Structure 1
Amino acid sequence: MARVTVEDCIVKIPNRFELVMIAAQRARNISAGSQLELERDNDKNPVVALREIADDLVELDTLEETLVKGMQKFVEVDEPVDEDMDMDALQDEVIGDSFGAPAKKESLEIHIGGEVEAPLDEVALEMPAADDSDSDEIAK
């Protein structure tokens, strides 16, 4: 029985961290009942997995895909669900079709203490007219 060394496997997978992840995934697959590609020789699953990788008996791309799918927390769905579409329509209705839409005139009204004041576009700012008597007193 020959020992499996990392040097045998590092030729196939140069990154040793990736090697560990892929070998662990293959060992999990073996534990789950996947068919062995070589004789066990009373070895444990991680050793068998490393030997299979060193002898190039397993598809590394398939193992990597299985590993990535197992680690994903969010699976992208191609088609939106009808309920999601209804929620989007409700949000558009409540918020408006877009953030850049101009505000309606009704939203510009000011409400204070239950009283409704005139809309902002109707309010005119009045400047007090200057009295000639005040300007004469200042000049003196």
Structure 2
Amino acid sequence: MARVTVEDCILQVPNRFELVLLAAQRGRAISAGASLTVERDNDKNPVVALREIADCTVDLDSLRLGVVSGLQKRVEVDEPEEDDMAQRLTVAEEWIGTAAEGSNKDRVEAEDADYDDSEGADAV
């Protein structure tokens, strides 16, 4: 088996720095237990990763996404779907309506009590 060189991989990934990042990402995936797409031939994981890149047996776009997601510090959170938002809005409106009714009821009772007190003062 001929040794894999950077020149073999440059045809697939023209930027040498990107090639190093992609090969390192693939090497970590192999170390984590990912299945190989080429024969190992007693090669170490970085060499196997470079051979896979040179032979176009791995998806480079998925490797790029893996590199980017591995370097991100902020994790994106999925937003709730519109159905969930509509349900939450309905619950919130019901809660606000109930709270407003309760405060109006207290206010009306207080006004009635004030009215009763004022009638009593006039009667004396």
**Shorter-chain TM-score tier:** 0.5 to 0.7
Larger RCO: 1 or 2 (CA < 8 Å, sep 6+): 2
> In angstroms, what is the RMSD of aligned CA positions?
1.2
Identical pairs, percent: 73
State which structure, 1 or 2, has the greater radius of gyration over its C-alpha atoms. Answer: 1
Q: Matched residues in 2 for 1:40 and 1:77: separation?
A: 38
Q: How does 1:1-40 map to 2 (within 5 A)?
A: 1-40=1-40
Structure 1: where are the runs of 5+ without partners? 81-140
Partner of residue 50, structure 1? 50
Give the C-alpha shift of residue 67 in structure 1. Answer: 1.1
Q: Matched residues in 2 for 1:31 and 1:78: separation?
A: 30
Q: Which amino acid aligns with 1:31?
A: S
Structure 2: where are the runs of 5+ without partners? 81-124
Q: Could you list the structure 1 runs, at least 4 aligned residues long, displaced by more than 2 angstroms after superposition.
A: 76-80
Give the C-alpha shift of residue 75 in structure 1. Answer: 1.4
Q: Matched residues in 2 for 1:36 and 1:24: separation?
A: 15
How many residues are paired up?
80
TM-score (norm: length of structure 1): 0.55
Name the SS for the 1:41 alignment partner: coil
